[in-house]
C-alpha cells in the first residue's frame, strides 16, 4: 500500500543547488494521493475540539477545504494582504528578504473560537506563526496546526512552540 510520501516528487537542485524541492502537485494530481493526504491530515484532528478550519493561501486551501467539508466545519481563508473584500485584520511576518502580510475577514473570527490551522508545509514557521497570532489577536485560540510536510532542517517548529503541531511527513533536511 502506498503512503503519501510515495506521491511526493523530489526535485534535486531546485530552486538552487543543494536543495531538494518536495513537490506536492504530484500528490494532488493523483486521486489516490489526494485522498490519502486529506484522510491522513484529517485523522490528526480525531479527538480535537474546534469550531473552524483556517487554511493559509494558497496550498492550505487545497487541504483545509476538503477537511472542513468532511467534518462539517466552516472554512476561514487566510490570504495575502489586499485579497479579501470585507473588513480585515492583518499580521506581518519576516521573509528571507523583507516582510509580508496576511489577513482574515474580521467578522469570520469570533472571540473564544477554537481554530485549526492547515497548510501544506512547515518550513521556517513564519507564516503559520503570524496566522496563529492573527487569530489570537481576534480572541480565538489555536486548537491545532496540521501540515502535510515539514522541513525539519529549517526549524520551523521552534517558532510554533506552545501550539500542538502535527505533520504527515517530516523530512530531516531543508
Instruction: Name the active-site residue from 16, 86, 87, 96.
Output: 96
Reduced to 3 states (helix: H, G, I; strand: E, B; else coil), residue 80 is strand
Which residue from 73, 78, 54 is spatially nearest to 64, judged by alpha carbons? 54
Which residue from 18, 58, 7 is spatially nearest to 153, judged by alpha carbons? 18
Which residues, at least 6 apart from 146, have a Cβ–Cβ distance to it below 8 Å? 41, 44, 45, 116, 117, 118, 165, 166, 167
Instruction: Name the active-site residue from 59, 79, 150, 159.
Output: 59
Contact indicator for 150, 122 with CB cutoff of 8 Å: yes
96 carries an active-site annotation: yes
**Cα 31 to Cα 141: distance, rounded to the nearest angstrom:** 33
59 carries an active-site annotation: yes
Question: Catalytic residue positions?
Answer: 59, 96
Amino acid at each position: 500500500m502506498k503512503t503519501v510520501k510515495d506521491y511526493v516528487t523530489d526535485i534535486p537542485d531546485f530552486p538552487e543547488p543543494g536543495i531538494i524541492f518536495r513537490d506536492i502537485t504530484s500528490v494532488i494530481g493523483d486521486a489516490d494521493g489526494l485522498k490519502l493526504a486529506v484522510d491522513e491530515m484529517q485523522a490528526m484532528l480525531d479527538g480535537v475540539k474546534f469550531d473552524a478550519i483556517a487554511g493559509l493561501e494558497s496550498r492550505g486551501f487545497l487541504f483545509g477545504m476538503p477537511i472542513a467539508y468532511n467534518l462539517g466545519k466552516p472554512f476561514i481563508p487566510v490570504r495575502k494582504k489586499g485579497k479579501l473584500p470585507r473588513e480585515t485584520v492583518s499580521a506581518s511576518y519576516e521573509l528571507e528578504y523583507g516582510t509580508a502580510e496576511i489577513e482574515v475577514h474580521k467578522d469570520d473570527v469570533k472571540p473564544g473560537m477554537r481554530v485549526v490551522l492547515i497548510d501544506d508545509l512547515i518550513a521556517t514557521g513564519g507564516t503559520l506563526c503570524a496566522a496563529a497570532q492573527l487569530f489570537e489577536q481576534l480572541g480565538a485560540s489555536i486548537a491545532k496546526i496540521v501540515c502535510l510536510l515539514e522541513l525539519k532542517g529549517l526549524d520551523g517548529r521552534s517558532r510554533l512552540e506552545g501550539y500542538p503541531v502535527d505533520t504527515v511527513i517530516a523530512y530531516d533536511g531543508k
